Amino acid sequence: MTIYQNLIAGEWVGSQTSRNLSPSDTNDLVGLYAQASADDAKDAIAAAKQAFPAWSRSGILERHAILRKASDEILARKEELGALLAREEGKVLPEAIGEVTRAAQIFDFFAGEALRLTGETVPSARPGIGVEVTREPLGVIGIITPWNFPIAIPAWKIAPALCYGNTVVFKPADLVPGCAWAIVDILNRAGLPKGVLNLVMGRGSVVGQALLDSPDLSGLTFTGSTGTGKRVALASIEHNRKFQLEMGGKNPMVVLDDADLSVAVEAAANSGFFSTGQRCTASSRLIVTEGIHDRFVAALTERLKTLTVDNAMKPGTHIGPVVDERQLKQDTDYIDIGKKEGARLAFGGEVLTRDTPGFYLQPTLFTEATNQMRISREEIFGPVVSVIRAKDYDEALSISNDTPFGLSAGIATTSLKHATHFKRHAEAGMVMVNLPTAGVDFHVPFGGRKASSFGPREQGRYAAEFFTVVKTAYTLP
């Protein structure tokens, strides 16, 4: 069977492998993927460091052409790559194809940005002196990505890194090496010089730790758990390294009495349960005011009854499996915690059996929850949602902001007054009005506040804040 190897200094290397199994069917072997060692990671960093001087001074047309070529191939292969994503991560096929399309759009956007690199020429306070403000590449970038968006998140880190002239060492999540390998293969064949992009698949405790320990990384961008994010921060501070963190969320969606019930229910169902709830922007706290509470819970429960949980590749499936056995146990442990805390299990919570062996869990809805319960405070990262009562908008806003996280927040209302107030006062990096809290555009900034994020925003033109350094040059003619 083909072994999908690591890419280091332009060469495919590695013979020690790990089995990539589908969570929809544990008998389905997606592929054998190489496992890098700490020495492999060090070699990749050395290769990126050696490639940096030439690539950082490469022409903008060269960068544009490579990124555009990658975008075109990703889009042309969206069904094939979507099927790979659905098989290895468990996201239903239409969502997987949508994610691949988004990755293509991201590369296309940054292909354009390569042609729009700008600076400033400003007058000096001193007569006769010219001042230029420019942006230059940061250096060697370490990229560590999670398993829940196995092609989109790598795309929105790798594309700007390359666009702005950096070199990359990319470590994907253990559970989803397939999409990572595919995107690196596409970029490699698109014409990247050797060493500009390096792929090191393997254990976080081995490969990830080697990246954290390296003094040769100029920047490290990480998306994943809060605990690991803290380790990334501490290691980066020790090496005086620029770092960027996207971590957890416990995102609220407020539903007011004046909300359009069908809009509110659909937004809540999408936010909390689609992609099996495995999104950092998922809304796992539904804060509902008294006047609509009972009608909303009844309507949402009926909506959940219509959702089919099954193999991600099967037509008609709305929710695929949980990503692996460990994540399934975490979800069911939290369901037990919610019951013991006194929340009412209104729907779901059962582990399901399907035609293929996998990690299937019913969408789970708790009602009569409080914001002090663990199921309302801690990120579960599964299809488990709590409904919290609020007497009015003011209390709902207060509950919404009472969380250590601050990634995304939503409100369902027909009141312009309340929508406007919520957009200003919600303590989150992204706010949605009458929309799911999950689902963002590729060309605008992504990120949160408090314990959810640290450092410059990702995506869009704001990506330059992390992947470049500002230089101010003075000239006396």
Annotated catalytic residues are 246, 280
Terminal-to-terminal C-alpha distance of the chain:
65
Bridge-based pairing state of the strands 120-123 and 29-34: unpaired
What's the CA gap between 81 and 31, in Å, rounded?
14
Enter the tokens of residue 59.
């022409």
Token pair 């407020």 is at which residue? Answer: 254
Residue pair 406/429 in contact by the 8 Å Cβ criterion: yes
Residue 411's contacts (CB-CB under 8 Å, 6 or more residues apart) are 253, 254, 255, 256, 418, 419, 422, 426, 431, 432, 433, 434
Distance of CA 230 to the CA centre of its chain: 17
What's the CA gap between 83 and 61, in Å, rounded?
32
What's the CA gap between 188 and 333, in Å, rounded?
43
Helices 416-425 and 393-401, axial angle in degrees (round to 10): 20
The alpha carbons of the chain give a radius of gyration, in whole angstroms, of 23
Residue 398, CA distances (Å) to 3, 28, 381, 392, 393 in order: 53, 47, 23, 10, 9
Provide the residue type at 437 as one letter.
T
Length of the chain measured in residues: 477
The CA-based angle 25-97-76, given to 5 degrees, is: 120
Q: Is 48 helix (H, G, I), strand (E, B) or coil?
A: helix
Residue 107's contacts (CB-CB under 8 Å, 6 or more residues apart) are 67, 68, 70, 71, 74, 155, 159
Instruction: Classify each residue of 308-330 as buried b or exposed e, where b means 16 or more C-beta atoms within 10 Å of its C-beta.
Output: ebbbbbbeebbbbbbbbeebbeb
What's the CA gap between 201 and 48, in Å, rounded?
16
Element (H, E) at 401: helix 393-401
Enter the tokens of residue 249.
């969320």
Residue 439's contacts (CB-CB under 8 Å, 6 or more residues apart) are 270, 281
